[in-house]
Amino acid sequence: MTEHAVATLESPRLAPLRAAAFHHLGIQTADLDNCVSWYQDFFGCKENWSLAEFSELTTSRLPGIVKLVELRAGGTRFHLFERAGEGAEAPDPGNAQFQHVCMEVGSPAEIHAWQRHWIKLYESGRYHFTRDEPATEIVTDADGVQSFYAFDVNGLEYEFTWIPEAA
């Protein structure tokens, strides 16, 4: 087997040498200003760019798209966008969608800092949260992995986790 082996129909389990890299997380919101502020304050994001004109492909996939803002924190990009008209409403929680996104942190101290930061912003009263639920407690599983869950202003669930090297 060569190091450049690629999956085929005959050998579907062979992986490419380099996996595709995660580029951004696209997030539809009903209140772009609220969402941008929260992501800037919670993740420390900076705005890279914004768009108000879109390609035919984008408008065919996201009818009514009004504005898109790219925010970046380190190597993580968020594409926040607002739509008007059909498709602008929040999805039914019973419909298929991502259940959560997991963000790995570097230490137990960092996971506690992220949880405290989320609680501080949640309790500040500066944001409207679609799901008015506090962050969970930090739990530690049998392998020493620590996690907590919290919702963004749109009701999207984030898991923050610290995974010890032994796990």
Domain containing residue 70: CATH number: 3.10.180.10
Mean pLDDT, rounded, of the chain: 85
pTM assigned to the model: 0.76
What's the whole-number mean pLDDT along residues 127-146?
92
Instruction: Tell me the two tokens of residue 125.
Output: 């009263």
The pLDDT score that the predictor gives to residue 166 is 67
CA atoms within 13 A on the CB side of 37: 13
Strand pairing of 101-104 and 139-140? unpaired
CA distance 132 to 51: 30
For residue 142, tell me if it sits in a domain. yes
What's the whole-number mean pLDDT along residues 143-167?
89
For residue 138, tell me if it sits in a domain. yes
By residue range, what is the domain housing residue 53?
23-85
**Which of residues 58 and 10 earns the better pLDDT score?**
58
Q: Which of 148, 154, 151, 76 is nearest to 114 (CA)?
A: 148
For residue 155, tell me if it sits in a domain. yes
The pLDDT score that the predictor gives to residue 41 is 97
What's the whole-number mean pLDDT along residues 74-89?
86
The pLDDT score that the predictor gives to residue 158 is 92
- For residue 140, the surrounding DSSP H or E stretch is strand 139-140
